[in-house]
Amino acid sequence: MQQSRISKQIYKARTIGILFLLAFLCYGVGRSLFESELFTQKHIGASLIIINSIMVLTIGNLLQKTIIKYNILTGNIYFFSRAIEAIALFSIVLNLIPQINISMDYGYFIAMLVLGIGSIPMCYIFHKYKLTPKWLALWGIIGYAVFAFGFLMELFGEKWSMYLLAPGGLWEITFAIWLILNRGKTNR
């Protein structure tokens, strides 16, 4: 019975890690293709953005199940921030409808702002309950705060996000690799 629980924990951790990395890839390539004037590339890009939104929602759901074991409110905040992120990124695809013109940048800025704000409490729970190494949890708290501030400034017309994006973005990549390699083992 214990072995089965550990196997599920390892599988879940690796799945979350892989989804984090694939979401980066799908959105990055998808957004680039979506901005193309070519019909086929635009639709492939739209498909990748939709797949990204599904992965983002899945990450939120899987991590929520872990976080709520320690704090229900934080688990729900994280899930809802991922849901809002998924919807905001998905809204970009609505530009395929000729009568709709949604700013692709604002959808992205809102998605990243909500992600940053919603991820800070998650990283705090990781730190408080030693679910990740201390350095990783603290990096997440600081990185997401800086990340969110950069995207908040974008909504006020200040072009700061590209300069403040790295701490949160690199944290996600590092966290994903840690999940894949560490296989969900906690520090307790």
* Whether the predicted model's global pTM rises above the 0.95 cut: no
Query: Hey, what amino acid is at 131?
Result: L
CA distance 22 to 99: 31
Query: In this structure, what token pair is assigned to residue 29?
Result: 């390539």
Question: 9: pLDDT confidence band, cut at 50, 70 and 90?
Answer: confident
Interior/surface letters 98-115, b for 16+ CB within 10 angstroms, e for the rest? eeeeeebeebbbbbbbbb
CA distance 155 to 113: 9
The pLDDT tens digits for 28-57 are: 999 999 999 999 999 999 999 999 999 999
Query: In this structure, what token pair is assigned to residue 150?
Result: 């950069």
